[in-house]
A and B are shown apart, each in its own frame.
Chain A
Amino acid sequence: MLDGRCAGLGFLRTGKVTVALIDTISGARKAIASKAVSSVELTRSVLDRIGALDGEIRAFNEVWADRALATAKAVDEGRLSGPLAGVPIAIKDNLCTSFGKTTCSSKMLANFHAPYDATVVKKLEAAGAVIVGKTNLDEFAMGSSTENSYFGATRNPWDTSRVPGGSSGGSAAALASSMCCAAIGSDTGGSIRQPAALCGLVGLKPSYGRVSRFGLVAFASSLDQIGPFGWTVEDVAAQMNVIAGVDERDATSVPTAVPDYLAELEQPLLGLRIGIVKEYALGSGVDGEVSAAVDAALAVYKKLGAELVEVSLPHTEYGIAAYYVIAPCEASSNLARYDGVHFGHRTSTPARDIIELFSNSRAEGFGDEVKRRIMIGTHALSSGYYDAYYLRAQKIRTLIKRDFDEAFAKCDVIACPTSPIPAFKAGEKSGDPLQMYLCDVFTVTCNIAAIAGLSLPCGFTGGAKPLPIGLQLLGPAFGEGKLLRIARMYEREVGWSVRRPTLSAQQA
């Protein structure tokens, strides 16, 4: 397996505890159930690992050591149980928590203490999960590299000169460096799937409405969804079992029954039809190694009996343009609440009037990318431009949704690369926002059409520091169960999920 390390074979010596590396939900649950390790020991080893590695990776904005150990102790003493009991998990720092800070990696919210817990956070804690801390992101989840953070950029554990993807790059990097056993992110245009691809993880963007958004700091309300990262499909399914479902506090959550995503996971799909999108082959700028890995994955599916069928998504070439109208428009409206009065950063410069207080507070509190998107959205919604941009983008949204409906009449799932390129060098694209946007070509339409999307590892690049490559599977809305089963068919056959990055602090 080249230079990768296998789960269970790595050991971390910290002077305090020496336990075999446990970094999956299934591994943690087995080890705790068999008393091979206590929840407190496991949590302590994770905290030690964060201490040893996070100086380099910078995945966490905040680590909740004492609270995590107290939760773990409750699990060990039988006071707390559930499907995730004792499992150390990291959550993205745009999920509101009544404990600690909720910063969105923005100066605007650098000292914000949310007055309540997001529904997902409550559900995780009720399931016994041990939340170890909150992870870095592109400010307000706007970005694809986790470089747009007020607290500094997160690095990719497979090659620390590269980005982990974004915007949930902190969650992806925390899990990819085994500083937790599972992680939660949010996905507005690819922010779970793309970092999952770039960090060698499984990541799921559930259908819009499958998971409650209550307590998720809003970026683009019609596109945002919360979803899980795992090393394995099983770990993603286990988290979905906990976080999915309707919530009376989110009127956009959908009351469709939640299946047991673990129950049928091992059942392969007979007569599987995989859609290959005709338009994706044309000038999409896909890296050679990425396309070879995706082709190899499709060959595996064919060997398993799947039929590959060509489908057409005729409005593919307008996906990014529509997304970069709709998302900034919604963002400019959502972020209007940061006024320097009710909460968040306030300027210390004396203001001539209240408008100047707003404008200076916002100018100081927001970073450049957030400002750009607020301005694009404000422009697109302003008098004289509304019809040409926002209204038109919403009509194209109808066409994109229709394209997917027609494609899913011919196939169970669409397969394509998650990202056209593997992890890129830090700084490489940060000066050119449009180039960064164009990397979202395969992920944004999933949010526009409100369907489900999953990324799973399908290989590595060559070279001294192999980089993970992600296969994206897109399925119809509320087809997460099927999507996970289809992903599991490939994973069982190939099993990239045992590879781990070699981190310098481990080698020492």
Chain B
Amino acid sequence: MSQNSITPDEVRHVAKLARLALPDEKLAELSGQLGAILGYIGKLSEVDVSGVEAMAHASGLVNVLREDEVRPSLPLEKVLANAPEADPPYFKVPKVLGGDEDSAG
């Protein structure tokens, strides 16, 4: 099945969707590795699943509700403590080339 192999161009597309910068020289290797995995996963198409419901998780719990009460949340300094860069109360991102002052903030 063609869906079970993956071309270097498709790898590039998936990497883009996944927000992973990928140098061109890795494309061939990855297309081989991912192709082998997808080829194996292709086994799933052998199974007759007509009339079978999909199961997102198997514990059987549904709609776990609680009262909508305000509770303490993390203090701002803890929220920002791990940020690569912060300008309290904001997370800060670097100025991007070609952007104006607003998009740099």
A, B in one complex: yes
A-side residues, CB < 8 A to B, are: 111-113, 115-116, 207-209, 222, 248, 251-252, 254, 315, 317-318, 320-322, 324-325, 332, 336, 339-346, 350-360, 362-363, 366, 371-372, 374-376, 378-380, 382, 385, 388-389, 391-399, 401, 433-434, 437, 448-450, 477
Closest-CB distance, B69 to chain A (whole angstroms): 12
Per CB-CB distance, the 9 closest pairs between chain A and chain B, nearest first, are: A450-B58, A343-B82, A346-B84, A394-B54, A363-B21, A222-B57, A395-B49, A251-B64, A359-B21
Interfacial chain B residues near A354, Cβ < 8 Å: 93, 96
Contacts of B81 in A (CB 8 A): 113, 115
Mark out the residues of chain B between 41 and 84 whose CB falls within 8 Å of any chain A CB in the assembled complex: 41-47, 49, 52-59, 61, 64, 66, 74, 78-79, 81-84
Q: Out of B18, B64, B74, B99, which one reaches A374, CB within 8 Å?
A: B18
| Contacts from B to A (Cβ < 8 Å) | 3, 6, 10-11, 14-22, 30, 33-34, 36-38, 40-47, 49, 52-59, 61, 64, 66, 74, 78-79, 81-85, 91, 93-94, 96-99
Nearest chain A CB to B41's CB is how many angstroms away?
Answer: 5
Q: Which residues of chain B are near A389, meaning CB under 8 Å?
A: 41, 44
Please, which residues of chain B bring their CB within 8 A of the CB of A393?
44
Q: For residue B53, which residue of chain A has the nearest CB?
A: A398
Note all chain A residues with C-beta closer than 8 A to B3. Answer: 385, 388
Which residues of the partner chain B approach A317 to less than 8 Å between Cβ atoms?
43
- Residue of B at shortest CB range from A350? B97
B37 and A324 contacting across the interface, CB-CB below 8 Å = yes
Please tell me if the beta carbons of B66 and A382 are within 8 angstroms of each other in the complex.
Answer: no
Q: Which of B30, B44, B56, B93 makes the CB contact (< 8 A) with A396? A: B44
Known: A248-B66, A343-B82. A392 touches B44 (CB 8 A): yes
Contact A379/B54 with A325-B44, A351-B96, A363-B21 known, Cβ cut-off 8 Å: no
19 contacts between A and B (CB under 8 A): A115-B81, A222-B56, A317-B43, A325-B41, A339-B19, A343-B83, A346-B85, A356-B21, A356-B96, A372-B33, A388-B45, A392-B44, A393-B44, A396-B44, A396-B52, A399-B49, A399-B52, A448-B58, A450-B59
Q: Note all chain A residues with C-beta closer than 8 A to B98.
A: 352-353
Do B47 and A318 touch (CB < 8 A)?
yes
Bound state CA distance, A382 and B10, in angstroms? 11
Known contacts A344-B82, A375-B34: A357-B94 contact under CB 8 Å: yes
Within 8 Å CB of B53, what residues of A? Answer: 395, 398
Name, among A111, A380, A394, A437, the residue most crowded by chain B CB atoms within 10 Å (CB to CB).
A394
- Do A434 and B96 have beta carbons less than 8 Å apart? no
A362-B19 in contact (CB<8A): yes
Give the CA-CA distance A324 to B44 in the complex, in Å: 11
Q: Are B47 and A399 in contact (CB under 8 A)?
A: yes
The answer for the CA separation of A137 and B33 in the assembled complex, in Å, is 22
- Flag if B91 contacts A341 (CB, 8 Å): yes
Instruction: Report the separation of the CA atoms of residues A480 and B98 in the bound assembly, to the nearest whole angstrom.
Output: 59
Given A321-B41, A343-B82, A350–B99 Cβ distance below 8 Å? no
A254 to B59 Cα, complex, angstroms: 8
A327 and B56 CA atoms in complex are apart in Å by 11
Task: Give chain A nearest CB distance to B9 CB in angstroms.
Answer: 13
Would A341 and B58 count as touching, CB distance under 8 A?
Answer: no
From the candidates A322, A366, A376, A392, name the one contacting B38 in the complex (CB within 8 A): A376
* Residue among B53, B57, B61 with the highest chain A CB neighbour number at 10 A: B57
| Smallest CB separation, B57 vs chain A (Å) | 4
CB of B20 within 8 A of CB of A375, answer yes
